[in-house]
Amino acid sequence: MSLRMRSALSTCIALCAQLLIIAQNIPAFGPAFPQNEVTSIYLTIDTDSLEWMIVNLENEHEFPASFVYVSQSIVDTVELVGLRLRGNTSLNAAKKSFKISFNTFNEGGDWQNLEKLNLLATVNDPSLIRSKLSHDLFRRAGIAAARTSYTKLYINNEYRGVYLNVEHIDEQMTAEYFDDQGDGNLYKCTYPADLDFISNNPDDYKFALWGQRHYELKTNEYVDDYSDLAAFISLLNNSPSANLWCDLPGKFHVSEYLKIAAIDILLGNWDNHIFLKNNFYLYHDQLTDRFQFIPYDLDNTLGIDWIGIDWSTHPLYSWSAAGEERPLYTRLMQNSAYRNLFSQHLDELCTTYFHPDSLAQQIDYWQNLLAPHVAADPYYPLDFGYNLEDFNNAPWEGCCNHVPMGIVPFVEARRASALEQIESYNSSVADPHWIVQRIDTNAVSLRARIEGSVSSLQANYSWDGATYNSGTFTVTETDVYNYVGPLFNTANDKLYYRAILNGNAAFPCEPDFHWMTRSSAGVRINEACASNQSLLADNAGEYDDWVELYNTASSPISLSNCFLTDDPTNWNRWQLPDTLLPANGFLLLWLDDDQEQGRHHANFKLGAAEELLLYRVEEGKPRIVDRANGFSPISNQTWALLPDGGSETAITTGTPGYSNVTNHIDSETESEALLYPNPANTHFFWPEQTTACILDMHGKVIVADLHYGENKCDRLSAGIYTVKSQTGTYRLVIAH
């Protein structure tokens, strides 16, 4: 095995190990969302602030408040939270919805691993349980949807009624449900987010109506890069129909979406993407490098209607508004294989979760739990004149124009109509979700998740993409197959792999591959500091961890497709700025998890025991460029390559942004000419009577004549400087 291949193998092992378990996690409800009680939340806020917020329908500015949470298992207090109204059309309701933020006035703050809570009044629904039932149906079917529970809300000791507590969809939620990091792009998609192709310019998808983007980036806002969304929408709209089955799964979790669409339609959800091009999230899962579709805002379901359409009989295969296409739903329905899977999901849901008997048990449970608290709710009757009789009858009867049917009659009618409409389907069709590979020093491991009928599953892998080694997958758990084969001694750059389903169908359609060797790009991790206490301040005046990159090549290198990470299972954690690194040039990047401070600030911090990895996307796949570890935990000490971009490493006193060699200080030189104090504040002592000057980091002379003895430095900005004399070059740190 070549040295180049061996150097990449350890990275490959770590990168692929996590990929062996790719499935969205449906976390337990936990103490913030108990299912056996109605909790209590007590908010205390300045009365003038509360009045101003309600009178002015303020749903953006957050006012300071205190928060107390009371349940059977915990009593918890957060002294300072942000409070605002929530919603758009619901702002005019008498019973307001609220959003509580735990990180508005406390940067990085959370409660029970949640940054925010949504307290929904659900005034449209006399039963108060339609949204709850809908969220739970998604979760029972294995789809990532917000956790929900019920709470009694008190503001300044006034009982404001029963509320549905809904998990906020943000980076905390996506980390919990998907990739453990939550740092991929998360888009909140609202009307008119139809996923129609506009252009190949990512900025064209930043269009706004009523002051809000319709594909609103909720994470990585300071980077504001829509290129992943633009690429997905382009593929969705422009991939030839014959190629869609092969192309789309590489960018989007198709099978999960087909199940989401089936549930949405059975629930009669018209305020969604398919009918109203509204109310969904797209998350770019960093682990699978594919988009996930997340449903939300599920109150207009199970018979709620504001349009005058009987949703219990509406067509399953043409749910979108008349004359309007939704590329995602429409193109999937035009594809026979995807239409087949959609039909299968509908049928399975009608025989399991979407059944009157199953839902009736849940309805009885929640009604009994909520009834005494609804009876005491002074805001329950205010918007539509509901009374306790309406609440008790809501599962079985309609009560007003927008609620023509009770929940159970709707489910019965919707299910009966669906069973009549569901097209015949082939249940023996296999539904491949993913295939991943893992490499170690002796073996190749392939693992695949495939639902449906699998009569045979062969593993193929190759070093040249032409001649394949074969073996048979074995079932290791439900719908998960595994194969382990020999790793041949080779120095080839790529390992190609695929699965052969039922003797003839390849997945993926074209063999996938993984880079086995390092990139030849000339960028090196040249220096890094994991404990910067006073060495160098960033543009915000803060002393944060940093890393320096160095271009070893004689020509500029574009960093547009490069990524930096401290976690090999999350190779695309932070994309580098789209810039050219000059020949033999240096680039300083701050590892401070503070992206709002600028494009040169990463979304993670560096620990001394961690590893830094630099990746570059080549031929659409991540390829390791460089890696570094062994950082010093001692304040202001840096790990550095000697010479710049070289093979030797050393722990030094740091030269961020310029050469490790020119300004490197060894112990012998330092003892001959000792600058003290160093770091200096207002002055320092120069012990030589030779001519000397001070240069900044760019080599510009800023103090031309140092004199023997005490020299003032109070007018110099904090940072690192070079002192040059006839006897050598020395480093001076100014720290005010």
Kindly list the structural domains of the chain, giving each domain's residue range(s) and its CATH number in brackets, ordered by start: 38-421 (no CATH), 428-507 (2.60.40.10), 523-652 (2.60.40), 667-734 (2.60.40)
Report the length, in residues, of the chain: 736
pLDDT digits (tens, 9 = 90+) for 124-141: 999 999 999 999 999 999
The residue with greater pLDDT, 54 or 2, is: 54
pLDDT at residue 182, as a whole number:
80
Measuring CA to CA, which residue among 2, 109, 143 is closest to residue 491? Answer: 2
d(CA 660, CA 642): 7
Q: Are 610 and 604 in contact (CB under 8 A)?
A: no
Classify residue 464 as exposed, middle or buried by CB count within 10 Å of its CB (0-12, 13-18, 19+): exposed
pLDDT class for 275, splitting at 50, 70, 90? Answer: very high
Kind and range of the H or E element at 564? strand 562-565
Q: Give the neighbor-by-neighbor strand order of the sheet with 457-462.
A: 469-472, 457-462, 494-501, 505-515
Classify residue 672 as exposed, middle or buried by CB count within 10 Å of its CB (0-12, 13-18, 19+): exposed
Lowest mean pLDDT across 94-98, 448-452, 582-586, 633-637: 448-452
Residue ranges with strand state E in 87-205 = 97-101, 116-120, 148-155, 158-167, 186-189
Lowest mean pLDDT across 210-214, 406-410, 661-665: 661-665
Handedness of CA 706, 712, 716, 720 (dihedral sign): positive
Q: Are 718 and 734 in contact (CB under 8 A)?
A: yes
pLDDT at residue 441, as a whole number:
59
User: What's the average model confidence in pLDDT over 531-554?
Assistant: 89
**Strands 612-618, 621-628: pairing kind:** antiparallel
Kind and range of the H or E element at 236? helix 227-238
pLDDT at residue 653, as a whole number:
80
pLDDT at residue 550, as a whole number:
94
pLDDT at residue 170, as a whole number:
95
Residue 495: is its pLDDT beyond 80? yes
Kind and range of the H or E element at 407? helix 407-421
Task: Name beta bridge partners: 82.
Answer: 64, 101
**Strands 692-695, 701-703: pairing kind:** antiparallel
Residue 422: is its pLDDT beyond 70? yes
Lowest mean pLDDT across 35-49, 161-175, 463-477: 463-477
Lowest mean pLDDT across 26-30, 55-59, 520-524: 55-59
pLDDT class for 159, splitting at 50, 70, 90? Answer: very high
Residue 464: is its pLDDT beyond 90? no
The pTM of this model reads: 0.82
Residue 7: is its pLDDT beyond 50? no
d(CA 458, CA 474): 9
pLDDT at residue 537, as a whole number:
83
pLDDT at residue 1, as a whole number:
40
What's the 3-state SS for 353-406? CCCHHHHHHHHHHHHHHHHHHHHCCCCCCCCCCCCHHHHHHCCCCCCECCECCC
**Strands 692-695, 719-725: pairing kind:** antiparallel
What's the 3-state SS for 76-89? EEEEEEEEEEECCH
pLDDT class for 665, splitting at 50, 70, 90? Answer: very low
pLDDT at residue 699, as a whole number:
63
Supply 196's token pair.
Answer: 């129609």
pLDDT class for 15, splitting at 50, 70, 90? Answer: very low
Tell me: cis bond preceding 381? Omega within 30 of 0 counts: no
d(CA 531, CA 509): 48
pLDDT class for 286, splitting at 50, 70, 90? Answer: confident
CA distances from residue 560 to 185, 491, 576, 616 in whole angstroms, order as listed: 17, 28, 7, 9
Q: How many CA atoms lie within 13 A of 640 on its CB side?
A: 23
Residue 691: is its pLDDT beyond 60? yes
d(CA 482, CA 438): 11
pLDDT at residue 140, as a whole number:
94
3-state secondary structure of 485: strand
Q: What is the mean pLDDT of the chain?
A: 88
Kind and range of the H or E element at 692? strand 692-695
